[in-house]
């Protein structure tokens, strides 16, 4: 909870107008994922924010990736890895992912040799962090 408050504070300071972010130098990263279902079945849009694991400071990501799998079904799914891209302001673009079934998925966010795993319960009308 404390980390959440710190992250929100950092975002409110730096998240306005022009994005400010620090360089990723193989820091331990953390990620804040906010996903929502689109109108197509099993397709979700996710806002991905990569932050410094300790300070919560937003990190600029170039060449990062996100990949989804299901911890409860190892090797069962093959959702293509998605490149994380930024727009001209350095803001991370939302990613669109097509999953293969509802349930709890793990999102592996990688940037600069550091990877963090986030679990999300994807259902037809919701995507809830676990």
Binding site for Cu ion (CB under 5 A): 70, 73, 101
Contacts with 82 (C-beta within 8 Å, 6 or more apart), sequence order: 65, 66, 67, 95, 97
Point out the residue whose Cβ comes nearest to Cu ion.
73
The residue among 31 and 70 lying less far from Cu ion, judged by its C-beta, is 70
The residue among 47 and 69 lying less far from Cu ion, judged by its C-beta, is 69
Pairing relation of β-strands 43-52 and 114-123?
A: unpaired
The C-alpha atoms of residue 22 and residue 59 are separated, in whole angstroms, by: 5
- Shortest distance (Å) from residue 54 CB to Cu ion: 33
- Shortest distance (Å) from residue 42 CB to Cu ion: 11
């Amino acid at each position: 909870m404390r980390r959440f408050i710190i992250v929100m504070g950092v975002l409110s300071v730096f998240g306005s107008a022009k994005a400010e972010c620090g360089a990723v130098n193989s820091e331990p990263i953390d990620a804040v994922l906010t996903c929502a279902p689109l109108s197509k079945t099993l397709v979700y849009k996710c806002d991905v924010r990569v932050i410094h694991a300790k300070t919560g400071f937003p990190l600029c990501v170039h060449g990062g990736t996100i990949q989804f799998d299901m911890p409860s079904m190892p090797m069962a799914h093959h959702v293509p890895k998605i490149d994380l891209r930024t727009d001209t302001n350095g803001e991370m673009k939302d990613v669109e992912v097509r999953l293969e079934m509802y349930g709890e998925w793990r999102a592996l966010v990688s940037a600069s040799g550091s990877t963090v795993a986030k679990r999300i319960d994807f259902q037809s009308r919701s995507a809830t962090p676990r």
